[in-house]
Every structure is written in C-alpha cells, then in structure tokens.
Amino acid sequence: MRRKFAAGNWKMNGLSADLAELERMVAAKPSAAVDTAVCGPATLVHRMAQMGWPVGGQDCHPAENGAHTGDISAEMLADAGASYVITGHSERRADHGETDAVVRAKTEAAWRAGLTAILCIGETEAQYRAGDTLDVLHRQMAGSMPEGCTGDTIVLAYEPVWAIGTGLTPTADEIGAVHNALRDALIDRFGPETGVAIRILYGGSVKASNAAEIFGIADVDGALVGGASLKADDFLPIVDALDAAD
Ligand code: PEP
C-alpha cells in the first residue's frame, strides 16, 4: 500500500538560524508510519541532510554538469544528501518559463541521480474558473511525466496555482474528484500495479486547521506544504494529522 507522505517546501526561505526549526522537528520524532521530507534552499540542503530528516531540493538542471551558471544538478543534490527534488513547481513554471518538456527532462535527471521526483501539476485560477482543471492536469501529466514512472521514483503533487500561499483551497469534493481522476489517469498510462503505487499529494494552503479534512479525502496520500512547513509548530501537527488519517 502507499505510504503517507508529508513534504515541506521552504522555497526561498531559510538561513542558518532556521535550522533550529528542523532540529525541533527531528527532536519531536514523528510517527515512522509517515514519510516526511523538507525541500530546503540549496544552501542548506547539505546541513539539513546531516540532521536526520529526509531532505529534498526544489529544482535541478537537466544536465549532470556543465556551463550553466547558477544552476544545480540532481547529482549535486544527491551528493549533498538529498533524497528528493521538486520538479515543475508552479513558481518555477511561472518565474522561469519551465515547459512540460523541461519538467520532464528535470524529472529524468532526478532519476539519473537516484532521487525521487516530487512532480507538481496544477491549474491557474482562470483555468479553474473556466472548468478546464482536468484538461490542464491531463496535459501537464502527459507532457511532464516521463515513461517508466514507478511508485518509488515519482510522487505526483496536485497543486492548484490559485491555492498556493493564498489561504484558499478547493472544496473537499473538488479535491476528491481531481485526485480520483489523477488516479485513473495514472492507471491508464502506467498500468494497474504502478498506477495505484504512485502517491498523489495535495498542495496549496495546507495548515494544521484544514489538514485532517484534506487527509480524509480518498486518494490524498499526503501533502506538499509551503508556508506551514517553515516552523516545527506548524508542520508537526500536519504530520500528526496525516498519521491519524484513515
Ligand atoms: C507550495 O509551495 O508548494 C505550497 C503548497 O505552498 P503553501 O502551502 O504555502 O500554499
């Protein structure tokens, strides 16, 4: 069965002093029944990885090395101790013009380095209002998920762009309908065994106060958490809510 997964995304936040928050998370020893990770800024990944909490990067270049000033390869993240890397986050798609083809190449780079990719898809507010959510998600999945996905090498994160950092979330019914459709699409493309093995996270304004409701929705295997992953007091109750969910 799929293991529950709570992943934090610190985005462009975190200085040395903030490692104290990760230290508090480690000290709290959350349930071993839930997989956890924090995707930190590249500058902290190595130190985070030495603290005993699974760590991810937030992006990687498709190439292993080369003349790409300012970029970081998946191999570098793995070398620093990361186990995961986020690919296709909507902020990368918007701020850096990342296409589905680029996201696919980055996901393959993650695998080359032995990392599990946390691949993000999600519709904009305009697409949501136009009723295009599922069309958009199917297009993003087709374009950005490589062939050969497995339950160990990829985690799919459904993150409505309009819910990220806004305090807004879709209704439980809407999240349930989307996750159900994503599950069907995974089974269609990768077959029944792999299709049910790939975890689907929800992301977008998850916090302690809404976590239990969201984790009670069928086919929600956990969450990708931005703002509420920065502080142990905010993130640990989310991990506990995931542990308690049926
Ligand atoms: C995210 O950055 O992936 C995210 C879901 O952010 P937030 O939880 O702050 O909405």
Q: Where in the chain are the domains?
A: 4-244
Ligand 1 atom nearest 9 alpha carbon: 2
Section 187-214 average pLDDT: 98
123-to-47, 90, 98, 164 alpha-carbon distances in Å: 34, 9, 15, 11
The continuous run of DSSP H or E covering 109 comes out as helix 100-112
Q: State if residue 214 touches ligand 1 by the CB under 6 angstroms criterion.
A: no
> Taking 90 as the threshold, does the pLDDT of residue 14 lie above it?
yes
Section 200-222 average pLDDT: 98
**Is 147 a catalytic site residue?**
no
Confidence of residue 109 (pLDDT cuts 50, 70, 90): very high
Section 31-43 average pLDDT: 97
Contact between residue 2 and residue 197 where contact means Cβ atoms under 8 Å apart: yes
Q: State if residue 224 touches ligand 1 by the CB under 6 angstroms criterion.
A: yes
Name which residue sits closest to atom 3 of ligand 1, judged by CA: 226
**Residue 153: per-residue pLDDT:** 98
CA pair distance 38, 60, nearest whole angstrom:
16
User: Catalytic pick from 75, 98, 159, 179?
Assistant: 159
Q: State if residue 165 touches ligand 1 by the CB under 6 angstroms criterion.
A: yes
Please give the angle made by the CA atoms of 39, 216 and 177, to the nearest 5 degrees: 90
Name the fold adopted by 4-244.
TIM Barrel (3.20.20)
Distance 207 CA to ligand 1 centre (A): 10
Average model confidence (pLDDT) across the chain: 98
**Is 89 a catalytic site residue?**
yes
Section 80-99 average pLDDT: 98
User: Catalytic pick from 21, 75, 89, 98?
Assistant: 89
Ligand 1 atom nearest 227 alpha carbon: 9
Section 128-135 average pLDDT: 98
**Residue 1: per-residue pLDDT:** 84
**Residue 132: per-residue pLDDT:** 98
Q: Which of 172, 201, 141 shows the shortest CA–CA distance to 7? A: 201
Distance 99 CA to ligand 1 centre (A): 20
Q: State if residue 39 touches ligand 1 by the CB under 6 angstroms criterion.
A: no
What tokens were used for 148?
Answer: 């050969």
**Residue 246: per-residue pLDDT:** 87
**Residue 244: per-residue pLDDT:** 97
Q: State if residue 169 touches ligand 1 by the CB under 6 angstroms criterion.
A: no
Contact residues for 173 (Cβ-Cβ < 8 A; gap 6+) = none
Distance 202 CA to ligand 1 centre (A): 10
CA pair distance 121, 133, nearest whole angstrom:
10
Q: Which of 66, 103, 65 shows the shortest CA–CA distance to 86? A: 103
> Taking 90 as the threshold, does the pLDDT of residue 69 lie above it?
yes
Q: Which residues pair with 71 in a beta bridge?
A: none
Distance 125 CA to ligand 1 centre (A): 15
CA pair distance 78, 197, nearest whole angstrom:
24
* Side-chain half-sphere CA neighbours of 228 within 13 A: 24
CA pair distance 230, 240, nearest whole angstrom:
16
